[in-house]
Amino acid sequence: MSLFDQREEFLFLYDVTMANPNGDPNDENKPRLDQGSGRNLVTDVRLKRTIRDHLFDAMGHHGGGDRDIFVRQTESKKTAGGLQDGKARTKDFDEDRDTILKRCIDIRLFGGVLPMDKNSFKFTGPVQIKMGQSLHRVEIMELRGTGAFASKDGAKQNTFREEAVVPYSLIAFYGVINENAARHTGLTRDDVDQFYTAMWDGTKNLLSRSKMGHMPRLLLRLRYKTPNFFLGDLDHLVQFDLNPGEKVLRRIDQGTLNLSGISAALARHNDHLADFELRADDRVKVTGWNR
């Protein structure tokens, strides 16, 4: 397989309806919020977990042969029912960094620290992703209901449950794939294609109770022929424009994704661009894209 050798940057948008995109453990697990702007925040760690889970569950990276995920919960060989720590996980690969890089696509993509008894290794991931942020202000809705069971055996009153969700949030993630770091982890073009597939399909398949309601909406890939070049901050160059008369945002078809800022930036640096790929959900209206 050919090594990844051309700089890429990407913009990934998905929306969330009546769910919690990423709970804040320091705030009762409520959706993360930038208090100044009122925008919803989602960590890159949350997105990487989605990608890892889909690679493991649906794309064959489940430990068989040379296809595995390094950062996943594995059972401790010392304590029944316990989980391995990072050092114990490296022993699954005989503490051989080359074996880990060969078998574990998530280390080739995202890098990581490999703690070992004698030497530890740190790899900077070729794929670097910014904190995700909604393209608009969001509100947090707090819901309360009754649980299915009593608070204790024999009690007459059911337990109460509370949860916080966002009625709607259109979230943008921006990232860069660095061809220089790719040489150190052995990242291939096929790895990168699998990364994009897992990001899109994994988001759509977040079907747990707290995550039901996620839908991928747009993925833009920009590939460059000039070494080390990239535009940067694509998430600042896209905006969501509400349709005339709309006041309360609850669905993607209530507005238009405006990519004119990205188009204008590309026009100024057209000589650097090798090619691009734009994928949009059928329900998304896109304007300002003139490539």
In the chain, domain spans? 8-287
Instruction: Provide the token pair at 5.
Output: 């050798």
pLDDT at 156 over 80: no
DSSP 6-70: S-EEEEEEEEEEEE-SSEEGGGTTEEPEETTTTEEEE-HHHHHHHHHHHHHHHSS-SSSTT-B-S
Q: Using CA atoms, how far apart are residues 269 and 11, in angstroms rounded to an integer?
A: 18
Q: What is the DSSP letter of 209?
A: T
* Beta carbons of 219 and 163 less than 8 angstroms apart: no
Task: Tell me what the mean pLDDT of segment 32-43 comes to.
Answer: 98
209 against 242, higher pLDDT: 242
* Beta carbons of 30 and 216 less than 8 angstroms apart: no
Q: Using CA atoms, how far apart are residues 41 and 205, in angstroms rounded to an integer?
A: 20
Closest CA to 222 of 210, 234, 237: 234
Say what the pLDDT of residue 68 is.
Answer: 95
Q: What confidence tens digit (pLDDT) does each residue in 277-286 have?
A: 999 999 999 9
Q: What confidence tens digit (pLDDT) does each residue in 172-192 have?
A: 999 999 999 999 999 999 999
pLDDT at 146 over 80: no
CA distances (Å), origin 138, targets 30, 104, 231, 248, 289? 13, 37, 28, 10, 26
Torsion of Cα atoms, 140 then 175 then 11 then 209, to 10°: -40
Q: Using CA atoms, how far apart are residues 126 and 230, in angstroms rounded to an integer?
A: 14
Q: Using CA atoms, how far apart are residues 43 and 99, in angstroms rounded to an integer?
A: 29
pLDDT at 157 over 80: no
- How much of the chain exceeds pLDDT 90, in percent? 77
**Range with the lowest mean pLDDT among 28-37, 77-86, 161-170, 176-185?**
77-86
* Beta carbons of 103 and 69 less than 8 angstroms apart: no
Q: Using CA atoms, how far apart are residues 56 and 71, in angstroms rounded to an integer?
A: 11
Say what the pLDDT of residue 90 is.
Answer: 82
Place of tokens 């022929």: 225
Extract long-range pairs of 245-252: CB within 8 Å, 24+ residues apart: 249/136, 249/168, 249/170, 250/17, 250/167, 250/168, 251/17, 251/168, 252/15, 252/170, 252/215, 252/217, 252/281, 252/283, 252/284
